[in-house]
Amino acid sequence: MSELRYCPNCCQNVTTTSGIDHAAMAILLVCGILPGIGYYVACAEEQCPMCRTRIRDLRPPKESDY
Q: Tens digit of pLDDT for each residue in 10-47?
A: 999 999 888 777 788 888 888 888 888 887 887 778 88
62 in a structural domain? no
State the pTM of this model. 0.64
Total domains present in the chain: 1
Closest CA to 48 of 8, 21, 65: 8
Q: Are 9 and 23 in contact (CB under 8 A)?
A: no
Domain that holds residue 49: 4-57
pLDDT of residue 66: 52
12 in a structural domain? yes
8 in a structural domain? yes
Helical ranges in 1-66 per DSSP H: 22-31, 33-43
Residue 57 or residue 39, greater confidence: 57
- Classified as helix, coil or strand, 5 is strand
64 in a structural domain? no
